[in-house]
Amino acid sequence: MYYKFNGFTQRLVGAAASTAYNPQKADGLPVHLKRGVPDKLLYRTTMALTIGGTIYCLVALYMASQPRSQK
């Protein structure tokens, strides 16, 4: 957001919500990443949690299936 002074009246540029995010813009982004950075962060967090968790789960289940190494 900034002020444009080279006009007859001063105007505030980039303050309207529509300049920040337009859900219908044809930018090729899928809907789950449409807002840019916050979407990407959430997506990567979810992916890290699920994929990391799945690997941890498989390791835990493998260990649980061993007959003698139970605690």
Partner 1 sequence: MAHQAHSYHMVDPSPWPIFGAAAALLTTSGLIMWFHYSSTTLLTMGLLSMLLVMLQWWRDVIRESTFQGHHTPTVQKGLRYGMILFITSEAFFFLGFFWAFFHSSLAPTPELGGQWPPTGVKPLNPLEVPLLNTAILLASGVTVTWAHHSITEGNRKQAIHALTLTILLGFYFTALQAMEYHEASFSIADSVYGSTFFVATGFHGLHVIIGSSFLTVCLLRLIKFHFTPNHHFGFEAAAWYWHFVDIIWLFLYMSMYWWGS
- Residues with Cβ within 8 Å of 11's Cβ and at least 6 positions away in sequence, in order, are 3, 4
User: Interface with partner 1 includes 68 (CB under 8 A)?
Assistant: no
Distance CA 21, CA 45 (A): 22
Residue number with CB closer to partner 1 (3 or 54): 54
Residue number with CB closer to partner 1 (1 or 64): 64
Radius of gyration of the chain (CA): 24
Q: How far is the CB of 13 from partner 1 (least distance, A)?
A: 23
User: Interface with partner 1 includes 30 (CB under 8 A)?
Assistant: yes
